[in-house]
A and B are shown apart, each in its own frame.
Chain A
């Protein structure tokens, strides 16, 4: 019995040794996207996988003499799954960079894993200002937008153009509060007044008590600091109770899929900020949008070119560095000005690793104004990056070394 046992154990250990993957001679560059493919934001984020793949293909598919390897994983918008997947990607698949990760808690978790594993992470989807603030680190970059940009750009514009008496309804969690802080700061800067605020639990289906409160306060602008199905419910009910006849509505974050989900009548004449739209005059944007329409049957939402851009700029940085060593690539990204179909110009700030560019203010079109598929927005204003993003000296980021 003892010898059989020993033999079996040795065989098992022998098999285990075979699991250790062979060390390659020349390591290829490995790009991974971790995003929400089946959770609450899948309608917007799942297509980012295609955007990253497209960027790799457009780049040529090869880098430093090897084929670029591509990985994608689903984190269902859950931070603990994101944490596990990040570990899996960095440890087992040995990826050099993870891109996207919507949901702020998930983004922060992956940022920490990037720091621990000393690999890159470009956050596109998660909006928390902490990425370029108190939780910044040398290995993490924040691309396309953050809550400050969303709130401040449409906040400043809205106070000037729509009215200075506001009422806010805030999704009661970290993201909502972050937005609230930034929106009210913008309002204050323009000398406006906040008539009231309600914190509403995530996943609330019935917004009518808050909407009635808001109606009673008689604001000029109602600001809905939520997204996805919460925004859908709130706006649908706001229409039902006739709020839109008495005030304008500003949203924190709205994409075309949300408008498709409830119908343009619901979001008509509402305002929101964004980083891109398929009709902007950024060179390359329209071709990208046409390609996307041809391939997928609808236009891209602005997360798609944002992920495309992050991928492309990373690959270009590796090329410039001549190596995929994280430190060298990071140095190439910092203080770099670039132009691509997403941002032209775009700039990566070395102080806080925030990629800054123009912000756009959109008005959602009424159904009769929509002449072609997915043309749901009209651009009514632009905010330059100096105003749209916080002064890098004030973000609270102390960018350390490696």
Chain B
């Protein structure tokens, strides 16, 4: 009986209820995971994957360079906290702003191309940024990474403990989810989806495809940067690998597994991948093999991902 009601609800206006369920899940997540830091990691990558879906699922652009924005957010925040001993709020603003600023030229140049060429250009730019992070050891710690990032309090809010950090991140993630929902349901968002479906028709109607894609790209980079900020706080450290194209590959994986084009599916994908990686990593060394197989299975059968398949199955019946 409860299942029936649940199915009906998912079939109706999906997003409003899914967001409520997700928020409840997120509130309880620290108590459902083996250790709180894992829950925070899930939340961070959920945000990153949601941001990425704006570019992949909603705008149809396969970016292989998003790790750069994630990394810029992480390094920006970390550098402010470690080298300049800035207050937390300012450090976060700087991190997000760095990603935002970088997204404009990268997007401007990359979006001129489509499909695989777009992916290659983003990869090239991301590798250049990676190289800068690698070489500028005084600022970034180079290969060692940025060490000893503190967790200062914002006024009365202390985030030293893992649990308090988690709920601090959650506030921003929920805000981002609501914002993200607003964006994709807005005329801007609807136009993006129309463009993804049939670019020529959209162009013939008179829409400036380039500008729409660029805005989507920049918005996505902004949220990715925000996720990066929290990553720096969670680890007390920024690894160089956060800017590597393998991290870009990971977020693509999470988005596909969760269901691209659903905005919140990728969040579930991120939770699943982070959890699986932790569980599999604890018990076996063959986790690349298992992740690879799962990913291939996801690509082959779940092309629509967990959430998308669920929706398809329910709408079809």
Query: In the complex, are there CB atoms of A and B closer than 8 Å?
Result: yes
Which of the candidate stretches A77-85, A187-195, A337-345 sits at the interface with the other chain? A77-85
Q: Which chain A residue lies CB-closest to B9?
A: A1
Q: Judge if A387 is at the interface, Cβ distance under 8 Å.
A: no
**Do the beta carbons of A105 and B240 come within 8 Å of each other?**
yes
In the bound assembly, the distance between CA atoms of A12 and B148 in angstroms comes to: 37
Asked whether, in the complex, the Cβ of A78 is within 8 Å of the Cβ of B31, the reply is: no
In the bound assembly, the distance between CA atoms of A79 and B244 in angstroms comes to 13
Tell me the smallest distance from the CB of B289 to a CB of chain A, in Å. Answer: 9
Complex CA distance for A175 and B37, rounded to whole angstroms: 29
Determine whether the beta carbon of B144 is less than 8 Å from that of A81: no
Q: For A19, give its contact among B2, B32, B38, B236 (CB under 8 Å).
A: B32
The SS class assigned to the B binding surface is helix
Which chain A residues border B144 with CB–CB below 8 Å? 79, 104-105, 108, 128, 174
* B-chain residues with CB within 8 Å of residue A108 when the two chains form the complex: 144-145, 147
Instruction: Pick from A86-94, A294-302, A374-382 the stretch touching chain B.
Output: A86-94
Complex partner residue of B239 from A16, A73, A79, A113, CB under 8 angstroms = A79
Q: Which of B88-96, B205-213, B278-286 contacts A (4 or more CB under 8 A)?
A: B278-286
Nearest CB of chain A from residue B208's CB, rounded to whole Å: 40
Asked whether B285 lies within 8 Å of A16 as measured between CB atoms, the reply is no
Q: Tell me if B28 and A91 are in contact (CB < 8 A).
A: no
| Per-residue A-contact encoding for B143-173, CB less than 8 Å = 1, 0 else | 1110110000000000000100000000000
Q: Give the number of chain A interface residues (Cβ < 8 Å).
A: 37
State whether A74 and B145 are in contact (beta carbons under 8 Å apart), knowing that A9-B24, A92-B35 are contacts in the complex: no
A13, CB-defined interface residue at 8 Å: yes
**A46 within 8 Å of B by Cβ?**
yes
A91 touches B147 (CB 8 A): no
B115 within 8 A of A: no
Query: Do A105 and B239 contact each other (CB < 8 Å), given the known contacts A91-B36, A92-B35?
Result: yes
Q: Give the complex CA separation of A171 and B134 in angstroms.
A: 13
Q: Is the Cβ of A74 less than 8 Å from the Cβ of B147?
A: no
A42 at the interface (CB under 8 A from B): yes
Given contacts A12-B28, A108-B147, A135-B147, contact A88 B235 (CB under 8 A): no
Minimum C-beta distance from B165 to chain A (A): 12
As a 0/1 sequence over residues 23 to 59 of chain A, the CB contacts with chain B under 8 angstroms (1 = contact) are: 0000000000000011000100010000000000000
Task: Establish whether residues A37 and B285, one from each chain, have CB atoms under 8 Å apart when the complex forms.
Answer: yes
Distance in Å from the Cβ of B79 to the closest Cβ of chain A? 17
- CB of A305 to closest CB in B, whole Å: 23
Q: Smallest distance from the beta carbon of B188 to chain A beta carbons, Å?
A: 33
Q: Which positions 123-145 of chain B face chain A at CB distance < 8 Å?
A: 134, 137, 142-145
Q: Which B residues are CB-close (under 8 A) to A135?
A: 147-148
Min CB distance, A183 to chain B, in Å? 18
Interface presence of B288 (CB below 8 A): yes
Considering only CB atoms, which chain B residue lies closest to A78 in the complex?
B241
**When A78-B241, A105-B144 are in contact, do A92 and B282 touch as well, CB less than 8 Å?**
no
**Is A109 engaged at the interface, CB distance under 8 Å to the other chain?**
yes
**CB-defined interface of B13-57 with A at 8 Å, one 1/0 digit per residue?**
000000000001000100110111110010000000000000000
Which residues of B are interface residues toward A (Cβ below 8 A)? 2, 24, 28, 31-32, 34-38, 41, 134, 137, 142-145, 147-148, 162, 235-237, 239-242, 278, 281-282, 285-288
8 closest pairs, A vs B, by CB?
A16-B31, A38-B285, A173-B143, A92-B35, A80-B239, A174-B143, A87-B37, A37-B285
A interface residues (Cβ-Cβ under 8 A, vs B)? 4, 8-9, 12-13, 16-17, 19, 37-38, 42, 46, 73-74, 78-81, 83-85, 87-88, 91-92, 104-105, 108-109, 112-113, 116, 128, 135, 173-175
Q: Can you list 20 pairs linking A and B with CB atoms under 8 Å apart? A: A13-B28, A13-B31, A16-B31, A19-B32, A37-B285, A38-B287, A74-B285, A79-B241, A80-B235, A84-B38, A84-B235, A87-B37, A88-B38, A88-B282, A105-B239, A105-B240, A109-B145, A112-B236, A173-B142, A175-B143
Known: A84-B235, A108-B145, A112-B237. 12 other contacts (CB 8 A): A4-B2, A8-B2, A74-B281, A74-B285, A79-B144, A80-B242, A83-B239, A88-B34, A91-B37, A91-B162, A173-B142, A174-B144
